[in-house]
Amino acid sequence: MKNIQEVSRVTIRFAGDSGDGIQLTGNQFTRTTAIALNDLSTLPDYPAEIRAPAGTLYGVSGFQIQFSSQNVHTPGDEVDVLVAMNPAALQAGLKSLKKNGIIIINADAFTERNLRMANFSENPLENGFLAGYQVYPVDITRLTRDALEKIELSHKEKDRCKNFFALGMVYWLYNRSMDATIEWIERKFSRQPVWAEANVLTLKAGRNYAEATELFATSYRVPEAEIEPGIYRQITGNEALAFGLIAAAVKAKRNIFYGSYPITPASDVLQYMASYKHFGIKTLQAEDEIAAIGAAIGASFAGDIGVTATSGPGLALKSEFLGLAVMTELPLVVMDIQRSGPSTGMPTKTEQADLLQGLFGRSGEAPIPVIAASSPADCFYAAYEAVRVALRFMVPVLVFSDAYLANGAEPWKIPDTEGLPEIEIEFAKAGEDYAPYLRDPETLARRWALPGTPGLEHRLGGLEKQDLTGNVSYDPDNHEKMVRLRAEKVQRVGEFVEEPEIYGDPRGDVLVVSWGSTYGTVLTAVEQLRKEGKSVSFYHLRWMNPLPKKLETYIRRFRRVIVPEVNLGQLRRIIRGNYLVDAVGFNRMKGQPISVSELKHAIEALLEEKNNGR
């Protein structure tokens, strides 16, 4: 008799060697979970080394998924189920496992050699080390070989199927249908029927094993979540950035010129863009970061939509050219997929420490509009909006993402392409009374005159421009006027874009202000605290420059303001400076997202203050 228990929220972590097919397993579980109508969020966790030696701790590849019958905003802090394909995966995964959590183990991989490499002096399956967890050691390798006895593949080849055995067990544990995965395997291996058969057999064997041996006393069911109808797909932040750019180009009916230099974690975007040439996308893998933005600026001058992407160190190299784009008032989109710094730092790990660099890291007064994506799918809308603003205001726009969003994935409701906001461009026309720095009174944008148009010949450059004519000018009053005009233009972006809404009551005890990829974590913490009846509200910024007007209004209406960030308090510094408010920070820099429970404690501590009569 199957004992089924209903639960509302689960986090599973699949972990093993890079060669164990962990990402594939995770993706299959994700897809099946999405089809079963749970909300979900996922995070792959690749080793930094390209080909890390098998069995090592630094070679562990992980994939985490949180799914629920309610809203899910993060891949989860604490893990309910750890699938460990070797000792290293167990060692690395234990610290995030819940007390009494489930561990499914490939016992065949617990050889002396592997144990040593994972820093176990004794076999943890034998010495009581795992007391306090529900441990299920299974001879996954052997059972896989048994299941494939009749298949004409070598032992080594058969072993490559063993991830499907583990997946089959987990499907049983969560009462999932195997149909979607079987269909996927058959499609994927349609030209290699032996492999299709082997993988399907292994998957079924895993499930049957769990069933027949009554391995788990209980299985679980996560009820359906309320999910908006529509067509969905999984999307990573980097894919979404590429899609957003392409969508904007299609809507604007212009070509995108994408110049970039390979840098982790932004390289994927260049790879995606290079594969979508049939959308009229021109890509240039430039000789360096500087040339990448320079070419994008040149392309914008000549009428394409110039785009470049990088990470923190690359943004530093691009800053002089960004200044030129500010001076020449050309449309441009620069995307910074932030990673842990300074210097080379931890290239595959996340951080939000480029905020001040992005806002201010240029010579002279060189403000630019800055937008920050809040989730993997939101990267689509952030990139799209950045292009709109760049074209409308003739201005370089910076888009912030980070390593967490870049690699993380979530279901994305595919938008109705007709419903996307229009992007209209009006070029200066031959014969019109053209002056390079004549401005639109509303947006302050100058007009875009394309080389090739007779009568509009003009010269741009980095030297200060005379108002209207654009001629070189060293006039003191003109310079001050232009500095103010360039800043004012960026401020006017605030009237064009939508301001975010507050989550929770518009006044109260504690206001949490955040930006970028902390969105999911903060929302989860605030949701939980509000359920507990706490007076906490949440304001998540989208445009970091210009800041929304409502921000100050809300800040004044709360007793305390807390700003959680994955840096030393860069937004907090801006908020304190702008609004003279004693905002406190919650700052963690571990190369990973902040944890919901830690943040909750910090907010609770602020709420306590009141009770203590502060």
Residues 442-471 that bind other proteins (CB under 8 A): 450-463, 471
The token duo for 425 is: 């461009």
Does residue 375 contact residue 42 with C-beta atoms inside 8 Å?
no
> Is the CB of 268 or the CB of 351 nearer to other proteins?
268
Residue 462 or residue 494: which is nearer to other proteins going by CB? 462
Stretch that binds other proteins, among 262-270, 409-417, 560-568, 598-606 (CB under 8 A): 409-417
Establish if 35 lies at the interface with other proteins (CB under 8 A): yes
Q: Which of 242, 306, 234 is nearest to 269 (CA)?
A: 242
User: E strands within 311-408?
Assistant: 332-338, 370-372, 396-402
Q: 298, 345, 500, 569: which one contacts other proteins (CB under 8 A)? A: 298
Task: Say which DSSP state 446 is in.
Answer: B
Say whether residue 189 binds other proteins (CB under 8 A).
Answer: no
Name residue 606's amino acid.
Answer: L
Q: How far apart are CA 212 and CA 219, in angstroms?
A: 13
Q: With CB under 8 A, what is the number of residues at the site for other proteins? A: 72
Q: Is 321 in the site for other proteins (CB under 8 A)?
A: yes
In the structure encoding, which two tokens stand for residue 7, read together? 């639960």
Nearest-approach distance from CB 473 to other proteins, in angstroms: 11
Contact flags string 142-181 toward other proteins, x per CB under 8 A: ----------------------------------------
Taking alpha carbons only, the member of 559, 561, 566 closest to residue 551 is 561
Tokens of 70: 């309610």
The least distance separating other proteins from the CB of residue 199, rounded to whole angstroms, comes to 17
291 near other proteins, judged by CB under 8 A:
yes
613 in contact with other proteins (CB under 8 A):
no
Closest CA to 362 of 324, 327, 320: 320
Among 287, 480, 495, 609, binds other proteins (CB under 8 A): 287
Residues 194, 472, 568, 605: which binds other proteins (CB under 8 A)? 472
Sketch the per residue contact string, 37 through 66, with other proteins: x for CB under 8 A, - otherwise. Answer: x-----------------------------
Instruction: Identify the CA nearest to 581 among candidates 562, 602, 605.
Output: 562
Q: How far is the CB of 560 from other proteins (least distance, A)?
A: 40
Q: Are 309 and 260 in contact (CB under 8 A)?
A: yes
Stretch that binds other proteins, among 101-109, 113-121, 154-162, 274-282 (CB under 8 A): 274-282
Q: Is 284 in the site for other proteins (CB under 8 A)?
A: yes
CA dist 576 and 60 (Å) reads: 42
Q: What is the largest CA-CA distance in the chain?
A: 88
* Residue number with CB closer to other proteins (71 or 491): 71
Least distance from other proteins to the Cβ atom of residue 376, Å: 14
Q: Minimal distance in Å, beta carbon 563 to other proteins?
A: 35
Segment lying near other proteins (by CB under 8 A), choices 16-24, 139-147, 300-308, 476-484: 300-308
| First-to-last C-alpha distance (Å) of the chain | 58
* Cα-only R_g, the chain: 27
Residue 91's contacts (CB-CB under 8 Å, 6 or more residues apart) are 57, 118, 119, 120
Minimum distance of other proteins from residue 518's CB (angstroms): 27
> Residue 576 Cβ, how far from other proteins at the closest point, in Å?
34
Task: With CA atoms as reference, report the closest residue to 314 among 340, 283, 292.
Answer: 292
Q: Candidates 34-42, 91-99, 156-164, 538-546 — which segment interacts with other proteins by CB under 8 A? A: 34-42
Q: Does 383 participate in binding other proteins (rule CB under 8 A)?
A: no
Binder among 294, 313, 341, 504 for other proteins (CB under 8 A): 294
CB 494 within 8 A of CB 543: yes
Q: Fill in the DSSP letter of residue 153.
A: -
Is 278 among the residues that bind other proteins (CB under 8 A)?
yes
CB of 429 to other proteins, least distance (A): 10
| 282 interacts with other proteins by CB under 8 A | yes
Residues 241-270 that bind other proteins (CB under 8 A): 243, 246-247, 250, 255, 257, 259
> What does each C-alpha distance from 45 to 63, 168, 578 come to in angstroms?
6, 22, 37
Tell whether residue 494 is a contact of other proteins (CB under 8 A): no
239: nearest Cα among 27, 23, 406, 63: 406
Nearest distance, CB of residue 449 and other proteins, angstroms: 9
Supply the minimum distance, in Å, between the C-beta of residue 223 and other proteins: 15
- The nearer residue to other proteins, 16 or 244, going by C-beta atoms, is 244
Report the residue number, 103 or 291, with the smaller CB distance to other proteins: 291
Tell me the closest approach of the beta carbon of residue 257 to other proteins, in angstroms.
6
CB of 396 to other proteins, least distance (A): 14
Please identify, using beta-carbon distances, which residue of 39 and 77 lies nearer to other proteins: 39
Give φ, ψ of 174 to 5 degrees: -110, 20
Q: Which of 4, 48, 414, 568 binds other proteins (CB under 8 A)?
A: 414
Contact 89, 117 (CB under 8 A): no
Please check whether residue 391 is in contact with residue 331, taking contact to mean a CB–CB distance below 8 angstroms.
yes
Q: Is residue 279 at the binding interface for other proteins, with CB under 8 A as the rule?
A: yes
Minimum CB–partner distance for residue 596 and other proteins (Å):
26
Q: Which long-range contacts (CB under 8 A, 24 or more apart) does 549-557 make?
A: 549/494, 549/499, 550/499, 550/500, 550/502, 551/513, 551/575, 551/579, 552/578, 552/579, 554/502, 554/506, 554/511, 555/511, 555/513, 555/579, 555/581, 555/583, 556/581, 557/506, 557/507, 557/508, 557/511
Least distance between other proteins and beta carbon 363 (Å): 11
328 in contact with other proteins (CB under 8 A) = yes
Q: What's the closest the beta carbon of residue 437 comes to other proteins, in angstroms?
A: 15
Give the integer Cα–Cα distance in Å for 429 and 449. Answer: 7
By beta-carbon proximity to other proteins, the closer residue of 125 and 248 is: 248
Closest CA to 209 of 247, 164, 249, 241: 164
The answer to the question of residue 295 lying near other proteins (CB under 8 A) is yes
> Site residues for other proteins, window 214-243 (CB under 8 A)?
227-234, 243
- Interaction with other proteins in 116-145: which residues (CB under 8 A)? none
Residue 199 CA to residue 201 CA, distance in Å, equals: 5
